[in-house]
Amino acid sequence: MASLRKVIVFGATGSVGSAAALKAFQEGAKVTLAMRDPSKPIPRLDGISVEKVQADLTQPDTVFNAARQSDAKTAFIYAVWGTTDGMRSTLEALKKGGVESVVFLSSFAVKGDPHAIKPADIIAYVHAQIEIALADVFGDQRSSLRPAYFSSNVFQYKDEILQGEVALPNPDVEFDWISPEDIGEVAGSILAHGLQENVIPLVGPERLSLKDGLSLVGDTLGKEIKTPVVGKEQAIKDMQRNGNPEGIATWFVETVTSPKSFIWDAPTWEAGRDNIQKYTHKAPTMFRQWLDDNKGFFAA
């Protein structure tokens, strides 16, 4: 009888990580959750048999101990901001602890040669540095998932949504609205069944403007949401007020006001759209359905 594939999931308290852990478990893997606080409940994972170990991706010693304790051969990780080495020390700790392959939650913003991406392109750059380190440490035994625009990004506008008005630098910019849970299910499938590709673009099933997306939010909540246009400088300040660092706020505003789409002008978007069904064997989640499932978050 074949032994269970042993995997370790970092970030299981988040939507992507919890979905990855659940999918891997459902597909027959032995799952260990690496958590900063193992006592923290994860409602999505209630009722399934998983082990929990203490670890923090910013502390390589704890990562090594977690990997060794779990005896996992495959790990799921996410990007940690603020590291100076592209998480290389963390990746080396994983490998030293016995992990042989890694599934990394990267970003669709990473395109072309990761070495050529400039620091000013902050979202792409941070993820690219980790992809570079990942390739150096694990070679071909890696998969970088590159999802585009998360449905959950709409949560950053929660206060404005509840007030009925969200000021935007470009309400007509179109996104794909990919479900974080779909991303996690792709990751979980790979954890359970093994790597297939080093880079996996992931794009949601819709091409919907930010204005129309917020209109769907309004429909779900039973209220009208206005989307007046605001200048770049004010948009950056608004994003900072909502908790985004200046660099990320600037990157986002410049991206959504650019004549070139970081999603739809990329040559990989169609393959990215197909990859959700390819890996999960089910249709991707539409934004309206995702809103119905998550509307409780908007409760005042």
Euclidean distance between CA atoms 218 and 111, whole angstroms: 34
- Give pLDDT, residue 96: 98
Going by the DSSP 8-state scheme, the letter that residue 2 receives in this structure is P
Evaluate whether residue 26 is within a structural domain: yes
* Count: domains in the chain: 1
DSSP bridge partners of 78: 105
Give the residues of the chain that fall short of pLDDT 50.
1
How many other C-beta atoms are found inside a 10 Å radius of the C-beta of residue 189? Answer: 22
Which phi and psi (to 5°) does residue 197 adopt?
-135, 150
CB of 184 closer than 8 Å to CB of 23 = yes
For position 10, which CATH number holds? Answer: 3.40.50.720
- Give pLDDT, residue 177: 98
DSSP bridge partners of 8: 32, 75
- Give pLDDT, residue 299: 81
- Give pLDDT, residue 201: 98
Query: What distances in angstroms separate CA 258 from CA 109, 254, 263, one per listed residue?
Result: 14, 6, 12
- Give pLDDT, residue 243: 87
Strands 142-147 and 101-105: parallel
What is the span of the domain harbouring residue 181? 6-151+177-205+263-285
- Give pLDDT, residue 242: 86
Evaluate whether residue 100 is within a structural domain: yes
